Amino acid sequence: MINAGTKLCGVIGDPVKHTLSPVMHNRAIAELGIDYAYLAFNVKTTNLGASIEGMRALGIRGLNVTIPHKVAVVQFLDELDPLARDIGAVNTIVNDEGKLKGYNTDAAGFLQSLDAAGFEPMGKKVVLLGAGGAARAMGFALAQAGSLITILNRKPTLPQAVILSNNLERTCGSKVTVMELNATNLKTVMAEAELLVNATSAGMEPAVDETAVPTDLLKPGITVFDVVYTPYETRLLKEAAARGCQVISGLEMLVSQAALALELWTGMQAPLGVMREAAISAVYPGTGGTSVKTPEIEKTEKTNVALVGFMGAGKTAVGKALARKMGKPFADLDALVEKKAGKSVARIFKEDGEPVFRKLEKASTTDIACKSGRVIACGGGVPLDPANITALKQSSVVVYLKTSNTEIIKRVSSGPVRPLLADGKDITTLIAARTPFYEQSADITIDTTRITIECVAEKIIERLGKYESFRF
Ligand code: NAP
């Protein structure tokens, strides 16, 4: 019940009449049982500064920022998260005792929705349509993730796309191509595309018959993401699905960015499933969210979860949190190796060398793979040996904890020197060499770069739901 201690959050924009944010956030607040409330405020551009001062004066805990204020609001804030600064747009403000900090959760929300669909953007050829606010965040996310991007924008606003590409090249160091959005260029780029991202408002209600891409350019093998979420299934998505493409609705990004914002305000794990259901129910009144296609259940006898990833990905910390949440015993492969050898990993490397360590690691992997019902944190080198993965896969769903290079370097350099890096090996080269092994071995991939350990564990549990043996 709302009382004198209730913390207020909300969204500012113009218009905000159709926003799904209050529905999603208030359902999440009820689910978490916390003393918060969320409202929508229609704020005209001329009142933007006054509304932010009002936030400070009234002690409003958090605001989401939507069209048309995401860029202009920056000037009224005290601090910017580095990602929001690079993107140049804010969609979430956190008020810490009068100090206002701006974040951008659109970029991470977009990447999470790709990740949830099992799409890995690194090295993929991406066609990005549009150069507006949404394209900015999504372009940044893709460039940071290592995609090869071509931006297509309508002729009169082509300079906007050139500015965006220059920003991406400057901040992320990636090469970005810009073209006019027309039939000839679309045909050329779609022939090579692996991911098509519609970041324009084409197809948004009420113009539901519009699409920026002719049907005949959509072919199986392409993943199609549409930022538009009203309607839930846009014409582009319907046509893409009919042509055999994998499709992802903008609603997934909307829900993910909202969940990340709620986590920033409350410090709590957002109930993603409840928020998605609330959003879908609002788009399709009366469905209670049942119009979401439930993922197909995969029959399996596997009962272990094996976590793989580079050092610093959080395998041990996430493994412990996951084991606690799932009520399963936790096993750390490095600890098993140490037990077998009677000395620390560092000492094995120093006194016996890496080949002896790998041999012990292989034996420990075989041992643990014979057990059931465990959460296993694997050493970073385990997936390099195909025999290890074959053994693990017999009893385990393999989860790859993916982390950006920058974040890995930050995490690894703040801890003790890792045995593998003790002789001055270059970490970036090592990451590049190992990443394909992690990707190939993974049944599930979770990006851990910007989310808490608890949140990673929750996401793994959510994704395990598609396996029969992990359904509760
Ligand atoms: P914006 O800044 O106004 O940009 C709109 C972009 O769409 C511009 O590049 C515009 O090109 C282009 N465009 C509009 N109609 C077009 C058409 N018929 N054909 C080709 N290009 C067209 O808006 P925004 O903030 O980027 O939002 C775009 C859409 O994304 C909206 O539908 C919004 O609701 C949605 N959105 C979704 C999420 C989510 O979480 N799913 C988040 C943010 C935004 P011109 O400059 O040439 O007009």
Contacts for 173 with CB less than 8 Å, ≥ 6 apart:
none
Q: Is the CB of 67 under 6 A from ligand 1?
A: yes
Q: Is 70 a catalytic residue?
A: yes
Residues of the chain with pLDDT under 70: 284-296, 415-417, 419-424, 450, 472
- Give the number of other Cβ atoms within 10 Å of residue 233's Cβ: 18
Closest residue to atom 43 of ligand 1, CA basis: 134
pLDDT of residue 287: 45
| Residue 355, domain member (yes or no) | yes
| Residue 1, domain member (yes or no) | no
Task: Calculate how far, in angstroms, residue 221's C-alpha sits from the geometric centre of ligand 1.
Answer: 25
| Residue 12, domain member (yes or no) | yes
| Residue 388, domain member (yes or no) | yes
Task: Calculate how far, in angstroms, residue 117's C-alpha sits from the geometric centre of ligand 1.
Answer: 22
pLDDT of residue 290: 36
pLDDT in tens, 313-364: 999 999 999 999 899 999 999 999 999 999 999 999 999 999 999 999 999 9
pLDDT of residue 288: 43
Q: Which of 180, 200, 232, 237 to mutate to test the pocket of ligand 1 (most atoms within 8 A of CB)?
A: 200
Beta strands in 89-200 (DSSP E): 92-96, 99-103, 125-129, 148-153, 176-180, 195-198
pLDDT of residue 291: 36
Task: Calculate how far, in angstroms, residue 77's C-alpha sits from the geometric centre of ligand 1.
Answer: 25
Beta strands in 280-395 (DSSP E): 304-308, 330-332, 375-377
Q: Is the CB of 201 under 6 A from ligand 1?
A: yes
Instruction: Answer yes or no: do 278 and 338 share one domain.
Output: no
pLDDT in tens, 241-255: 888 888 999 999 999
Instruction: Answer yes or no: do 78 and 219 share one domain.
Output: no
| Residue 127, domain member (yes or no) | yes
Task: Calculate how far, in angstroms, residue 135's C-alpha sits from the geometric centre of ligand 1.
Answer: 8
Instruction: Answer yes or no: do 60 and 183 share one domain.
Output: no
Q: Are strands 176-180 and 148-153 parallel, antiparallel or unpaired?
A: parallel
We report the CATH number of the domain holding residue 400 as 3.40.50.300
Provide DSSP, 344-370: -HHHHHHHT-HHHHHHHHHHHHHHHHT
442: its two tokens: 């993974």
Instruction: Answer yes or no: do 174 and 260 share one domain.
Output: no
Instruction: Answer yes or no: do 31 and 123 share one domain.
Output: no
- Residue 454, burial from CB neighbour count under 10 angstroms (0-12, 13-18, 19+): middle
We report the CATH number of the domain holding residue 64 as 3.40.50.10860
Instruction: Answer yes or no: do 366 and 387 share one domain.
Output: yes
**Beta-bridge partner residues of 224:** 196, 247
Instruction: Answer yes or no: do 96 and 170 share one domain.
Output: no
| Residue 2, domain member (yes or no) | no
Instruction: Answer yes or no: do 249 and 350 share one domain.
Output: no
Instruction: Answer yes or no: do 448 and 355 share one domain.
Output: yes
Q: Are 348 and 360 in contact (CB under 8 A)?
A: yes
Number of domains the chain contains? 3
Q: Is the CB of 19 under 6 A from ligand 1?
A: no
Task: Calculate how far, in angstroms, residue 129's C-alpha sits from the geometric centre of ligand 1.
Answer: 9
pLDDT in tens, 30-45: 999 999 999 999 999 9
Length, in residues, of the chain = 472
Q: Which amino acid is at 101?
A: K
Instruction: Answer yes or no: do 68 and 96 share one domain.
Output: yes
Closest residue to atom 4 of ligand 1, CA basis: 132
| Residue 35, domain member (yes or no) | yes
Instruction: Answer yes or no: do 382 and 279 share one domain.
Output: no
Q: Which of 44, 70, 340, 371 is catalytic?
A: 70
We report the CATH number of the domain holding residue 115 as 3.40.50.720
Beta strands in 335-457 (DSSP E): 375-377, 396-402, 444-447
Q: Is the CB of 229 under 6 A from ligand 1?
A: yes
Q: Which domain holds residue 130?
A: 108-253
pLDDT of residue 422: 64
Q: Is the CB of 250 under 6 A from ligand 1?
A: yes
Closest residue to atom 32 of ligand 1, CA basis: 201
CA distance 422 to 19: 53
Q: Is the CB of 89 under 6 A from ligand 1?
A: no
Instruction: Answer yes or no: do 386 and 433 share one domain.
Output: yes
Q: Could you give the 3-state DSSP secondary structure of residue 132?
A: coil
Distant-in-sequence contacts of 420-425, Cβ < 8 A, 24+ apart: 420/311, 420/349, 420/354, 420/380, 420/381, 422/346, 422/349, 422/350
